[in-house]
Chain A
Amino acid sequence: MKKRRILLASTLAVCIAALYFLQALLMPKYMDKTKEGALIGEYYDNAGNNDVVFIGDCEVYENFSPITLWEKYGITSYIRGSAQQLIWQSYYLMEETFRYETPKVMVFNVLSMKYDTPKSTGAQSQREAYNRMTLDGMRWSSSKWNAIMASMTEEEKKWEAQYSYLFPILRYHDRWSQLTKDDFTYWLHRDKVSDNGYLMQTGVKSVTGEYVERPLVDYSFGENSWYYLDKMVQLCKEKGTQLVLIKAPALSPIWWEQWDEQIAQYAEENELLYINMLDYQQEIGIDWSKDTYDAGLHLNVYGAEKASDWFGKILSQECGVADRRTDTQISALWAKKTQVYNDRKAALQTQQN
């Protein structure tokens, strides 16, 4: 009887191990193309000792450089950004971050306030792909589960996709016919694609014209967006962390004046610092013919360094974030990070030329 139990347990263990390795093989690696998908998972090796944590969409992971904040102000920071990260995902990422550390300042980019529900974000197929890039990288916790439940599209709800976020093999099992060399190279490990969450771009594509978008029927942010922003405010208050709202300097999508007014009013009512960096483009020194890699949607590394230098001054002087450069242990760690950053920058510049 005992022998039978051991045999059954062994069989089960082998099955689970096989499924684990198979799942690791079949999941997208995001190492060569669509590197944005690897960002969320990179945080855990860098969790702790970050005085500032940025949360939000591409406007944080493309427009701010933690290395510049370190070099110029001795600020330790991390960017928990992901492609088209929605506000409910930002909230749960913030909640999860507090499990690992309690930064002095949380910076949230407010562009995602424009999306009130998963349906309002566009085509379901693309929405799901964005969801996967944010959620698959999160470690297991109630925050992840709640983020999944808040993020699923109507289509995903129909086939109860929450279980496929729990066991991604259920979603990716038919990738077996699309496996590439990368899937085997990165089967059980990943290279770092970011510098503390910053995804570097060295290309230059100048802004050619003014961005124009369709006027909206209603400029009011939705109830769901306000609900999650309220939760962020509450959470940061409970943790004693200062929440700073920013609108990063990017020309498209348009940040409507009516949106700006709503956030400014909300910030005033809740005694929050809100900075619309679009109002300070000249002061920051952004040159839209040189400092963007995609004609004004995001900054390249040269623009991101300028934006970080400008914003670092506010973090340092207005928010009182400490200069850690006198701490030898932290300095040694950041010296290594800076070296990796500089090497990456040089390599990308060489590729560019």
Chain B
Amino acid sequence: MKKRIFITVLACLMLLFAGCQGNPATGGDNSNNQSQVSSYNFTYKETKITLHAPAEPIIKALGDPISYTESASCAFDGLDKSYYYGSFYLETYPKDGKDYVYGWYFKDDSVATEKGISIGATKEAVTKAYGNEGFNGSNAWVLKDGGGTLTIILDKDAVSSIQYAIVVE
């Protein structure tokens, strides 16, 4: 009899600890892919920007932005921030009380990718620079490098948007 009771109690405890999954779900940051680095980077007026880099020194080096917006998530602490520097937007995400680079995207043709592609470039120029890998067959290249993506969007066979962002999983 004692054995049966022992088995019952044991079964309850097993049920309790089955499916143990680490931290409980009471929040979260907006990026959990910190381990994968990416070689994507962008240098603007001698300031090098890399994905996942701490944002504070970069923003300090870039100087005052033309405009700035921030947005909170529906329920959690921390703000996603966006800084506009005329030629590009720099976006950050919060993690453990600090901001990190989420990505950047270009707004004019005064800045270019590491392979020389800027807004307004032709489809042929993009194909020559990046090949067909990552081309979706219609209007965009989505290229991955480690924990980062480069997205080049075409509008009527000319580049209309160039965007870098971390991979969020």
Binding site for B on A (CB under 8 A): 4, 7-8, 11-12, 15-16, 18-19, 22, 28, 34, 36-37, 57-58, 83-84, 122-133, 159-161, 163-164, 167, 169-175, 178, 208-212, 214-215, 217-218, 252-253, 294-295, 297
Q: Tell which of B4, B67, B140 touches A209, judged by Cβ atoms closer than 8 Å.
A: B67
**B4 CB contacts on chain A under 8 angstroms:** 4, 8
- B153 CB within 8 Å of chain A: yes
Q: Are A211 and B26 in contact (CB under 8 A)?
A: no
Question: In the complex, what residue of chain A is closest to B152 when comparing beta carbons?
Answer: A217
Taken together as a complex, chains A and B put the C-alpha atoms of A126 and B78 apart, in Å, by 12
How many residue pairs link A and B with beta carbons under 8 A? The number is 147
Binary contact track B136-169/A, C-beta < 8 Å → 1, others 0: 1001101000000001010000001101010011
Q: Are A15 and B8 in contact (CB under 8 A)?
A: yes
Q: Are A126 and B29 in contact (CB under 8 A)?
A: yes
Given A164-B19, A171-B21, A217-B142, verify A124-B32 contact (CB < 8 Å). Answer: yes
Binary contact track B78-119/A, C-beta < 8 Å → 1, others 0: 000010100001000000000000000100000000000000
Q: Are B5 and A11 in contact (CB under 8 A)?
A: yes
Taken together as a complex, chains A and B put the C-alpha atoms of A70 and B105 apart, in Å, by 46
> Which of B41-49, B53-61, B69-77, B120-128 sits within the interface?
B69-77
Question: Closest CB-CB distance, B136 to chain A, in whole Å?
Answer: 7
Q: Are B74 and A83 in contact (CB under 8 A)?
A: yes
**B67 CB contacts on chain A under 8 angstroms:** 209-210
Taken together as a complex, chains A and B put the C-alpha atoms of A129 and B82 apart, in Å, by 25
**B89 CB contacts on chain A under 8 angstroms:** 212, 214
Question: Closest CB-CB distance, B160 to chain A, in whole Å?
Answer: 7
Q: Are B75 and A34 in contact (CB under 8 A)?
A: yes
Q: Are A7 and B25 in contact (CB under 8 A)?
A: no
Q: Which of B1-43 contact A (CB under 8 A)?
A: 1, 4-5, 8-9, 12, 15-33
